[in-house]
Amino acid sequence: MSAPTRTHSPADSSPAADAARPAPRSEVPTTSRRTRRDWSAPIAYLIALVVCGITIAPVVYVIIGGFRTTAQINRDPSGWPDPWVFDKYLAVFTNPGFWTQFANSSIVALATTTGVVVLGVMAAFVIARYEFFGRGFLFSLFTAGLLFPLTVAVLPLFTMLRGFGLLGNLMAVIAPQVAFALPTTIIILVPFLRAIPAELEDAAVIDGASRFTFFLRVLLPLSWPGLVTVGVLAFVASWNAYLLPLLLLGNPATATLPVGVQYFSTAYSQDTAGVLAFTSIAMLPALLFFTLAQRRIVGGLTGAVKG
């Protein structure tokens, strides 16, 4: 016998029956099917906070240590200032040697940044915008410059600069820093300059602009984020440089602040609080400069990747 076929009565199609009938699977709200939470975002934030804490904690310790006395540090190295003292920072600001080394660091950092930006954008402009024999090899040569750390070239640099009579001169530090910063600068700027449409250059030429005018009035403003990025990186790297100033300058009168910290800590080895105060002031300009320009750095690097 065949199974009886069920016929739908009028009552089955009533509103009450439709309400009682379970909804299809596709009509069930999505939120009711979410039984698991996405823990990736909280974990990422937790890792970021831990990394930030590990990075910031030594800097905060050095800055706060300058507001303590050496006796307080020896008694409780991890404690807070009790009471807060400002003598160590005032002693650093009234030290003539500090201002001499601050001026040396400023001159070296500004000259290095200017040389890196000017030479880097001109070289990147040629590599990015013009076809010529050996262009790929030239770009690869600059890329290969990233493989050679500064420590490898210290001895040849010392010998060469001694032959030129530049030892003890700030130019002995500026020129090598510019040379070693150019590979990174060109690698960042070339994608920026390539991303600028060729139609803009054609329109500028039709309007009577020369290549230099296009470079100066059109290309430089459009590549401003990349220029800021390489400028900030060059400034911070030059301000924090230690090895070259230590080997090539040689005395406190021409030393930069990172080397001045060593001279100060050697002369006042028993004054731990004073050394911490000198160190915190020496690193403060680069820290503030990098913090204020970090958004432009991220935007510049993003533009380089997109280009």
**What is the tens place of the pLDDT at every residue in 91-107?**
889 988 899 999 999 99
Taking residues 17-40, report their average pLDDT: 52
The Cα 238–Cα 113 span in angstroms is 8
Which has the closest alpha carbon to 185: 300, 17, 46? 300
Contacts of 176 (CB under 8 A, 6+ apart): 150, 153, 157, 244
Closest CA to 104 of 170, 184, 35: 170
Q: What is the pLDDT of residue 11?
A: 46
Which of 8-22, 73-87, 158-172, 292-306 shows the lowest mean pLDDT across its residues?
A: 8-22
- Looking at domain 95-306, its CATH superfamily turns out to be MetI-like (1.10.3720.10)
pLDDT of 105 reads 93
pLDDT digits (tens, 9 = 90+) for 152-181: 888 888 899 988 888 889 999 999 999 999
Closest to 75 measured CA to CA, from 280, 262, 273, 268: 273
What's the residue count for the chain? 307
Confidence tier at 249 by pLDDT (50, 70, 90) = confident
